[in-house]
């Protein structure tokens, strides 16, 4: 599949909102109460919210786009860092999702490289992230890329606590 990875613009909002909700629900649908999931999707994949984030540059979204449309996306933003990283100039990779059906084709890896390059160009010394502790495929991908585990903590989706691993990748 031919695709390109680029920074998202306002015109990508509908596609990101749709893909974001589908992929998040697929990733966490089995472990989160349906009511919690509904509230989370409505809050975080609201096109108005995405428009505000992209317009104000409070978050940077990247899309992988093929002839079929957006097949993956990533989100990067300056957030409250975990205590272990308080003194580090690292930025959070908040989301990295590929459309189900397009896994294993290099799209996630290419998005990750684009995000790292962008973070470096903005003066950050690396990325940190949270990943569900049972998501062994993603953890494997991050470790292969140089991320290391810092510990774990609960991440709340509505009222549901989910055990997540904190990871960091500091670049030289
Ligand atoms: C994790 C994810 C972004 C990887 O993107 P991708 O385009 O499939 O990854 P690539 O083709 O660049 O690299 C393949 C690697 O991704 C990882 N991976 C994770 N889930 C995978 C899946 N279902 N199929 C294939 N690879 C997967 C593996 O490490 C794999 O390499 P390996 O099998 O040799 O160990 C993608 O599978 C995805 O969107 N998964 C669901 C959402 C998710 O877990 N996101 C990360 C949350 S922090």
Domain membership of residue 134 as a residue range:
3-170
In angstroms, the CA 3 to CA 148 distance is: 29
DSSP state letter for 85? G
- Based on the structure, what is the number of domains in the chain? 1
**Cβ-based neighbour number of residue 52 at 10 Å:** 12
Closest CA to 171 of 110, 109, 124, 112: 124
Q: Which residue ranges have their beta carbon within 6 Å of ligand 1? A: 23, 27, 96-98, 103-109, 129, 131, 135, 137-138, 140-141
At 116, give phi and psi (nearest 5°).
Answer: -65, -45
pTM given for the model:
0.95
CA of 36 to the centre of ligand 1 (A): 25
Q: What is the CATH number of the domain that holds 159?
A: 3.40.630.30
In angstroms, the CA 94 to CA 21 distance is: 14
pLDDT digits (tens, 9 = 90+) for 1-50: 999 999 999 999 999 999 999 999 999 999 999 999 999 999 999 999 99
The closest residue, in CA terms, to atom 42 on ligand 1 is 97
Instruction: Going residue by residue through the chain, which has 172 residues, state the pLDDT in tens, using 9 for 90 and above.
Output: 999 999 999 999 999 999 999 999 999 999 999 999 999 999 999 999 999 999 999 999 999 999 999 999 999 999 999 999 999 999 999 999 999 999 999 999 999 999 999 999 999 999 999 999 999 999 999 999 999 999 999 999 999 899 999 999 997 6
The closest residue, in CA terms, to atom 26 on ligand 1 is 104
In angstroms, the CA 123 to CA 144 distance is: 23
Mutate to test the pocket of ligand 1, among 76, 108, 132 (most ligand atoms within 8 A of CB): 108
CA of 87 to the centre of ligand 1 (A): 30
Angle at 110 between CA 104 and CA 115, to 5 degrees: 135
Asked whether the beta carbons of 93 and 108 are under 8 A apart, the reply is: no
CA of 31 to the centre of ligand 1 (A): 19
């Amino acid at each position: 599949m031919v695709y390109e990875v680029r920074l998202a613009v306002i015109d990508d909002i509908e596609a990101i909102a749709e893909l974001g909700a589908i992929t998040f629900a697929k990733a966490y649908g089995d472990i989160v109460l349906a009511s919690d999931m509904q509230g989370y999707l409505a809050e975080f994949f609201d096109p108005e919210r995405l428009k505000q984030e992209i317009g104000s540059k409070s978050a940077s979204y990247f899309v992988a786009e093929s002839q079929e449309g957006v097949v993956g996306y990533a989100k990067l933003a300056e957030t409250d860092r975990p205590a272990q990283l308080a003194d580090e100039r690292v930025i959070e990779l908040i989301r990295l999702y590929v459309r189900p059906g397009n896994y294993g084709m290099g799209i996630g890896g290419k998005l990750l490289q684009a995000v790292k390059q962008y973070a470096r160009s903005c003066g950050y010394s690396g990325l940190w992230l949270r990943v569900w502790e049972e998501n062994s495929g993603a953890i494997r991908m991050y470790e292969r890329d140089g991320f290391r585990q810092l510990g774990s903590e609960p991440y709340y989706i509505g009222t549901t606590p989910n055990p997540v691993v904190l990871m960091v990748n500091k670049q030289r």
